[in-house]
Amino acid sequence: MIDKIEIVVRGGNGGDGLMSFRREKYIPFGGPDGGNGGNGGNVFIVTDSSLLDLSLLKQKREFIAESGHGGGKGSKHGKKGMDLSIPVPIGTMIYIRTESGEDKPLADMVISGEKVLVAKGGRGGLGNVHFATGANQVPRLAGKGELGEEYQIYLELKLVTDMCLIGYPNSGKSTLLSAITEARPRIADYPFTTRQPVLGVIRGSRRDFVVAEIPALTKGAYVNKGLGHEFLRHVERTKLLVYLLDSASPTIVEDFTRLNEELATYRPDLCQKAKIIAVNKVDMPQVKSRLRDMKQSLNHLDMPLLFISALDGQGITEFVTRAIEMVGLMSEGGQEVSPPVLTVFHPKPKK
């Protein structure tokens, strides 16, 4: 998955104005008739819901809109250059690099079909018909077209998903993703198999639900240890956090606590998102005898708790049903919005 990229965008140049004079029979004083040049095309960035990452921009890094056409005889204006649209996935953030090397935020695109202007085309030059005056009835000059704007653009993708699977190495995130979606992530018996976020789709009766598997977090991910920032930023826009815990771990409660602390330290508002705990690998013989104790130790967390086996499908249907229900409560008007807090100031009476 390509989620960061730098490109150069340039608006089209404006067309030149024309210096021309009427040369018609029986018209001795035809006068100037040079038309204006057309404006250069603009460069837009547009969100496309069918895209999942920025890989379309990998091969081509420079985008130039069409230049405007020159003016014509008979005071005809030149044709405007065609605008250029660059498609990006939903969740793309746009930064413009300033002369000082600083990345200045321009737009955060989270709506399908959203359109942002990133480089304006140059204006077309004036034809000599615009320079005619009473004192200069035969102007022999015309305007040059302006150059289009040019910027270095930095694009960063933050996935917009319905749910994210997070957990420690070997907790079974890839196996769970392949069990609930048609995604086929890399699965192996060693840690850190997943090197980048993987997306899958749960087919629903009314709409589809996008699931992201976040690569395994390590202790200190909030300070970018183990590329923590590269992965945690994709959690910012999800609706539901799925904590996937390994039931074979002897410190399962501490595992959840550390995961929660990593998210809270990275961004405190992540702890306000809806959460669900899924305890995986309950099909293992050494785990079955500990299930009752694990339930008692995790029940105090006051959030949905499910025991599943991504390998043999145990509890998967219940897990998917519960997750979709929770996401549905927060989607498209289903989420309860708390009323704004109104602050009232009571001025003290004058003495």
Chain segment 1-10, per-residue pLDDT in tens: 678 899 999 9
Q: Give the Cα separation of 182 and 203 in Å (integer).
A: 9
Q: Looking at residues 285-308, what average pLDDT do you find?
A: 85
The residues pairing with 213 across neighbouring beta strands, listed in sequence order, are: 165, 198
Long-range CB contacts for residues 171-175, cutoff 8 Å, separation at least 24: 171/216, 171/244, 171/245, 171/246, 171/280, 172/244, 172/246, 172/280, 172/281, 172/310, 172/311, 173/213, 173/214, 173/216, 173/244, 174/198, 174/213, 175/280, 175/310, 175/311
1-157: CATH topology is: Spo0b-associated Gtp-binding Protein; Chain: A, (2.70.210)
Q: Is the pLDDT of residue 45 over 60?
A: yes
Q: Could you list the beta-strand ranges (E) of the chain.
A: 4-10, 43-47, 62-64, 84-88, 92-97, 103-109, 115-119, 150-157, 163-166, 198-202, 209-213, 240-246, 274-280, 305-307
Q: Looking at residues 95-113, what average pLDDT do you find?
A: 88
Residue 225 has a pLDDT of 45
270, 262 contact by CB (below 8 A): no
Q: Is the pLDDT of residue 330 over 90?
A: no
Chain segment 131-159, per-residue pLDDT in tens: 988 888 888 899 999 999 999 999 999 88
Under the banding of pLDDT at 50, 70 and 90, the label for residue 336 is very low
Residue 195 has a pLDDT of 56
40, 78 contact by CB (below 8 A): no
Q: Give the Cα separation of 202 and 208 in Å (integer).
A: 6
Tell me how far CA of residue 241 lies from CA of 32, 218, 233, 296, in angstroms.
70, 17, 13, 22
Its pTM surpasses 0.85 = no
DSSP state of 3: -
Chain segment 212-242, per-residue pLDDT in tens: 888 866 554 444 444 444 678 888 888 999 9
Joined tokens for residue 171 = 């907790």
Residue 264 has a pLDDT of 85
Chain segment 143-202, per-residue pLDDT in tens: 999 999 999 999 999 888 899 998 888 888 888 998 898 877 655 554 455 557 888 888
Under the banding of pLDDT at 50, 70 and 90, the label for residue 296 is confident
User: What are the extents of the domains in the chain?
Assistant: 1-157, 163-330
Under the banding of pLDDT at 50, 70 and 90, the label for residue 53 is confident
Residue 209's Cβ-count burial label (10 Å; 0-12, 13-18, 19+) is buried
Q: Is the pLDDT of residue 62 over 90?
A: yes
Residue 83 has a pLDDT of 96
Q: Give the Cα separation of 251 and 282 in Å (integer).
A: 15
Instruction: Give the right CATH number for 163-330 from 2.60.40.10, 3.40.605.10, 3.40.50.300, 1.10.10.1100.
Output: 3.40.50.300
DSSP state of 25: T
Residue 218 has a pLDDT of 58
